[in-house]
C-alpha cells in the first residue's frame, strides 16, 4: 500500500481546501478519514507520510458525545513524538495543545471572519513561516483557545487571541486560524445550518461584512497558504 497523508475530518462540510492543492503539487497522496462515520480500532502513525487534523464545532472535552476525540488526542501525540509531520487546524490545534498537557478553554470573544495576525520573531526562523510576515490577515472561526504546551515554539498571535500558531517538536504544527480557505468554502460555511444558527446568536458578527471583505483579503491568505502549506507538503514528501 502506498503511503499517504491522512486527513482527519470531524464534520462533513469541512475539507482541507487549498491543502489538497499543496499536497497534489508535491505529488503526495492523501485520504480523508471521516470520524463521525469511521472509527478505526487501531492507529499506526508510521503508516502515514503525515497527519492533518481539521476543525469542527465540538470542543476537545466532548468525549462522551464524540468518543473518537479521546483516541484522536492519543494519535496526535504519538504522531508528533514519532517525528511525523502533523498539522492541526482550529480544533486540530486545540487537540494538539491538549495532547501535550495544555489547557483548552473558551476565549473571551469569538473570532469569525477576517482578522489581523502577527507572526512572532521565532516564526522568522521556522521552516513553514519564514519570510511570511510579520503582519497578515487571516480567516477565523473559533470560540475556544488554549495555553501553549510546555516546550512549544510560539509562532503567531492576534489582538483577541494570543496563541494563534505554534510548533512542538520538529514538525508538529497547530494553527488556530484557517489558512486553507477558498471563496467557495467561506460561502458554504456561512450558509451551513449549524454555522448559520451560531451566527444568529453572535450579534457582533455580520456575515455580509465577511462576504464583502473576502475578495479583498482572500488573495493574501492564499499567498500565505501557498508558502506555508507548500512547505508542510514538502515535509511529508521527504518521508516518501
Question: What is the arithmetic mean of pLDDT over 206-214?
Answer: 98
Tell me the pLDDT band of 53, cut-offs 50, 70 and 90: very high
Q: Output helix, strand, coil percentages for the chain, rounded to the nearest 5.
A: 35, 25, 40
Q: Say what percent of the chain tops pLDDT 70.
A: 99
| pTM for this prediction | 0.96
Q: Which has the higher per-residue pLDDT, 16 or 12?
A: 16
Residue 1, pLDDT score: 55
Residue 40, pLDDT score: 79
Alpha carbons 164 and 161: distance in angstroms, whole number = 7
CATH number at residue 141: 3.40.50.880
Q: Cite the active site residues.
A: 90, 178, 180
Place of cell 490577515: 137
Q: Print the domain residue range for 90.
A: 4-237
φ, ψ of residue 119 to 5 degrees: the values are -80, 145
Count structural domains, the chain: 1
Amino acid at each position: 500500500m502506498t503511503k499517504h497523508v491522512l486527513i482527519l475530518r470531524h464534520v462533513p462540510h469541512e475539507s482541507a481546501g487549498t491543502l489538497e492543492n499543496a499536497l497534489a503539487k508535491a505529488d503526495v497522496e492523501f485520504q480523508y478519514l471521516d470520524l463521525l462515520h469511521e472509527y478505526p480500532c487501531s492507529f499506526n502513525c508510521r503508516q502515514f507520510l503525515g497527519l492533518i487534523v481539521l476543525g469542527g464545532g465540538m470542543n476537545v472535552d466532548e468525549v462522551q458525545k464524540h468518543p473518537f476525540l479521546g483516541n484522536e488526542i492519543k494519535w496526535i501525540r504519538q504522531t508528533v513524538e514519532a517525528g511525523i509531520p502533523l498539522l492541526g487546524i482550529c480544533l486540530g490545534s486545540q487537540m494538539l495543545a491538549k495532547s501535550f498537557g495544555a489547557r483548552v478553554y473558551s476565549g473571551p470573544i469569538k473570532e469569525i471572519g477576517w482578522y489581523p495576525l502577527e507572526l512572532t520573531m521565532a516564526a522568522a526562523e521556522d521552516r513553514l513561516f519564514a519570510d511570511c510576515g510579520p503582519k497578515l490577515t487571516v480567516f477565523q472561526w473559533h470560540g475556544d483557545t488554549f495555553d501553549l504546551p510546555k516546550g512549544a515554539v510560539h509562532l503567531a498571535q492576534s489582538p483577541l487571541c494570543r496563541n494563534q500558531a505554534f510548533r512542538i517538536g520538529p514538525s508538529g504544527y497547530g494553527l488556530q486560524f484557517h489558512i486553507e480557505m477558498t471563496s467557495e468554502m467561506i460561502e458554504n460555511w456561512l450558509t451551513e445550518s449549524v454555522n448559520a444558527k451560531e451566527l444568529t446568536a453572535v450579534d457582533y458578527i455580520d456575515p455580509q461584512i465577511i462576504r464583502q471583505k473576502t475578495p479583498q483579503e482572500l488573495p493574501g491568505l492564499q499567498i500565505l497558504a501557498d508558502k506555508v502549506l507548500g512547505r508542510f507538503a514538502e515535509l511529508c514528501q521527504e518521508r516518501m
